[in-house]
Amino acid sequence: MKTPTRLIGMVQPNKVPGRDEGTGLHTIGCAGRLTQFSETEDGRYLITLKGISRFRVAGEVTGFTPYRRCEVTWDGFEQDLGSAEKDPDFDREGFLNLLSKFFSAKELSTDWESLKEADDELLINSLSMLLDFAPEDKQALLEAPSLSTRRETLVTLIEYALRGGESGEVMQ
């Protein structure tokens, strides 16, 4: 928090098959700039990050720290730092209708006007982070190579949830 850049890399744990204890890490994570934090009564910190760029874990750095450290490479994620990505095949009206069904089924509310006005990249990326999906599904959204692929994955996850997911219970 004291560094000028205030960058933190976030990587989801990845259970190592055949190991009862400990976890590995997924190979792709995201660097975020710390924009806000508050301390809880029990000494934990709640932080807010603004995503900057994805990275690939090259290896974990050993040594004693209260957090894990990794060497990373940014290769392959140059577009994350460029101008806003476009999705030429994005059917915004159809997507918002599907999203409305999902929000109704999950009894969620939102500022629909803000969603309608958000540019494609902000809309898709924000929903990918905020909607309640399983960690592996969130990882698939993070690893999507393009905005179009991320949108297609997000639509599939929403449709799957509306069809009842693993429980098979169809949401109305």
pTM over 0.75: yes
For residue 109, give its domain range. Answer: 92-167
Residue range 32-50: mean pLDDT, rounded = 92
94 pLDDT more than 90: yes
pLDDT at residue 172 in the model? 47
For residue 1, tell me if it sits in a domain.
no
pLDDT at residue 23 in the model? 76
Whether 106 and 65 share a structural domain: no
117 pLDDT more than 80: yes
Whether 22 and 49 share a structural domain: yes
Whether 49 and 97 share a structural domain: no
pLDDT at residue 22 in the model? 62
Whether 153 and 120 share a structural domain: yes
Whether 56 and 36 share a structural domain: yes
Q: Domain total for the chain? A: 2
Whether 109 and 136 share a structural domain: yes
Whether 162 and 102 share a structural domain: yes
Whether 96 and 163 share a structural domain: yes
More confident residue, 172 or 31: 31
pLDDT at residue 3 in the model? 74
81 pLDDT more than 60: yes
Last residue of a domain, one of 60, 81, 102: 81
For residue 86, tell me if it sits in a domain.
no
Q: What integer best gives the mean pLDDT of the chain?
A: 89
Whether 142 and 117 share a structural domain: yes
d(CA 141, CA 148): 11
What is the CATH classification number for the domain harbouring 29? 2.30.130.40
With bands split at pLDDT 50, 70 and 90, how would you rate the model's confidence at 152? Answer: very high
